[in-house]
Amino acid sequence: MNSQIYDSGNGSDDTDEILARADARIAQLKEARARIAEKRRALAEPSHKVVVANPSGMHHKITLGGVLVNAGFQAADANALAGLLAIGAAEFAERFVEASTQNPEALTSEIIANLLDVDARQLAALGLFAEWQRRLALYLDDRAEWLERDEEFQLKGAWRDAPMPADQRWLIRVTCRVLAIGMPGNLLRGQAADWLEEHGANLNYGEFA
């Protein structure tokens, strides 16, 4: 009788090979599952993130500006919108209630746009003035900090021999236009500061400094 029931032959080797192939297939399935999960996470994330870990000032401007543009506002509305944000809460509420009563089905963005259109010139002027006040406060703080520096640093500090920066050059150009005088020659940073001081710059805020 030639039965092979009890013939072990190389059965152990075949089993090891089958198990090895199964382990390899399981590993492949795990890798494929991981790739699919990563793709799902990527699809779930917004294409444009509006929240970052350390947002810069420009990031805030772009993000908020995008919201306003999507609501129908344009760059031409900026000054008037700044003016609207600068008025008192009671006055704003009065204007908003009056406008929304006339069109109760309108969106809030539409009511605000109507408020800007109705009183565009006055609101724009108010917005420009609010911006001027903000810049004046920054200028006064900066000037006070400068005046607190010791005289030795102001008159003989190494900063005086540095090249004139772009903001000084721009301020000299504006001052020359306002005073209708010619531009000075190429100045170092200290010379530019002396020139601006002699000519009363910054002329925007000179009477308040």
- Does position 4 have pLDDT exceeding 50, yes or no? no
130 and 160 both lie in a single domain = no
- Does position 65 have pLDDT exceeding 60, yes or no? yes
Sequence letter at residue 11: G
Instruction: Decide which of 148, 175, 197 is a domain's last residue.
Output: 148
Q: What is the mean pLDDT of residues 138-163?
A: 89
- Does position 127 have pLDDT exceeding 90, yes or no? yes
What pLDDT was estimated at residue 40? Answer: 73
Dihedral of CA 52/56/60/63: which sign?
A: negative
Higher pLDDT, 12 or 99: 99
- Tally of structural domains, the chain: 3
On whether residue 59 sits in a domain, the answer given is no
What is d(CA 129, CA 125) in angstroms, rounded to the nearest whole number? 6
User: Strand (E) positions, the chain?
Assistant: none
What is d(CA 180, CA 173) in angstroms, rounded to the nearest whole number? 10
pTM of the model: 0.63
Domain region containing 39:
13-46
144 and 160 both lie in a single domain = no
Strand partners, 163: 188
* Residue 205's pLDDT band (cuts 50, 70, 90): confident
175 and 109 both lie in a single domain = no
Q: What does the mean pLDDT of the chain come to?
A: 86
Phi, psi dihedral angles at 188 (to 5 degrees): -80, 170
pLDDT above 90 covers a percentage of the chain that reads: 56
143 and 83 both lie in a single domain = yes
Distances (CA, A) of 134 to 32, 89, 138, 177: 57, 19, 7, 24
161 and 206 both lie in a single domain = yes
139 and 156 both lie in a single domain = no
On whether residue 197 sits in a domain, the answer given is yes
